[in-house]
Amino acid sequence: MSAVSDGRTPCSPVLVERLGGVGRVRLNRPEALNALDLATKTQLLAALEDLAADQGIRCVVLTGTGRAFCVGQDLREHVSRLNEVGPEGVLATVPEHYNPIATLLHTMDKPVVAAVNGVAAGAGASLAFLADFRIVTASAGFNLAFAQIGLSCDTGCSWTLPRLVGPTTAMRLLLLGGTISAEESLRLGIATEVVPDAEFEERVHDLAGQLAVGPTQAYAAMRRAVAYASSSSLSDALAYEAELMARTGATEDHQQAVDAFLAKRPAIFTGQRD
């Protein structure tokens, strides 16, 4: 496990671990429920940039230390910054930090797993919504906390949440707030899986390991195709699918996988760009 800065700082707010093709980013301010202060946002963005660019990393896991996944913006820092620089200065963190973090999580060319180890609130919930999988421990929950502090929503949740749960439920969750349980998040389509607390780490490890030996280029293309199709016509989506099929059809992974299929042996994917 290494900190983003020098690999040795024990109290770094963001820890990064690379193991077997899995890059795990751990928000590490348990005393503040992994609230996002400036250092945490800066290091989270840097960690995601590193992992996105690292061809040896074929799956990214985002999780938290302690009893929370992430409770969004650090409101203590927010209030003191409001007093120092006013709303315009403090809200610049949205385009400066939250938006690039959201964009990276959504566009990196590898699968992203949110390992929701505890409560996810505000922008913390939004981060989880950007992942391909939300593995949620049974005692966790989600809270769209923005309205309770008189703010609109951010970090992409106006885009992700209605796509996950539909517009009616998205508006209920945003306007009324409150914590929804892991089980309700599963029923609503937010959680991919809810796992008993004792089995959570192992399930995340197994899933990330499975994704990290998968067809990374095909996974990347699927992420792009689904994102593109969500705001395009059918004919444009078909054209983009054709382009991506041509690209993935030219990979070594595809060639060896169809050979393996015909030879009735398991495929071994390298995930490399050809």
Q: How many CB atoms sit inside 10 A of residue 57's CB?
A: 23
Helix (H, G, I), strand (E, B) or coil at 136: strand
Q: Does 15 engage in binding with ligand LHQ (CB under 6 A)?
A: no
Q: Does 136 engage in binding with ligand LHQ (CB under 6 A)?
A: no
Closer of 176 and 250 to ligand LHQ (Cβ) = 176
Q: Does 13 engage in binding with ligand LHQ (CB under 6 A)?
A: no
Q: Does 35 engage in binding with ligand LHQ (CB under 6 A)?
A: yes
Q: Does 74 engage in binding with ligand LHQ (CB under 6 A)?
A: yes
Q: How far is Cα 181 from Cα 173, in angstroms, rounded to an integer?
A: 12
Query: Could you say which residues in the range 215-274 bind ligand LHQ, by CB under 6 A?
Result: none
Q: Does 143 engage in binding with ligand LHQ (CB under 6 A)?
A: yes
- 38, with CB counted inside 10 A (0-12, 13-18, 19+), is middle
Q: Is 86 left (phi over 0), alpha (psi -120 to 50) or beta?
A: left
* 8 Å CB contact between 20 and 32: no
| Contact range with ligand LHQ by CB under 6 A, out of 50-58, 69-77, 217-225, 228-236 | 69-77
Q: Mark residues 145-174: x for contact with ligand LHQ by CB under 6 A, - for none.
A: xx--x-x--x--------------------
H or E segment to which residue 215 belongs: none
Q: How far is Cα 5 from Cα 125, in angstroms, rounded to an integer?
A: 25
Q: Does 142 engage in binding with ligand LHQ (CB under 6 A)?
A: no
Instruction: Tell me the angle at which helices 216-229 and 234-249 cross, rounded to the nearest 10 degrees.
Output: 170
Q: Does 71 engage in binding with ligand LHQ (CB under 6 A)?
A: yes
Rg (CA), the chain: 19
Say how many CA atoms lie within 13 Å of 129 toward its Cβ.
30
Closer of 85 and 258 to ligand LHQ (Cβ) = 85
| Contact range with ligand LHQ by CB under 6 A, out of 32-40, 47-55, 247-255, 263-271 | 32-40
Beta carbon of residue 41, minimum distance to ligand LHQ (angstroms, whole number): 9
| Number of chain positions touching ligand LHQ (CB under 6 A) | 25
Residues in contact with 226: Cβ distance below 8 Å, sequence separation at least 6, in sequence order? none
| Contact range with ligand LHQ by CB under 6 A, out of 16-24, 89-97, 166-174, 239-247 | 89-97
List residues binding ligand LHQ (CB under 6 A): 32-33, 35, 71-76, 78, 91, 93-94, 98, 119, 121-123, 143, 145-146, 149, 151, 154, 179
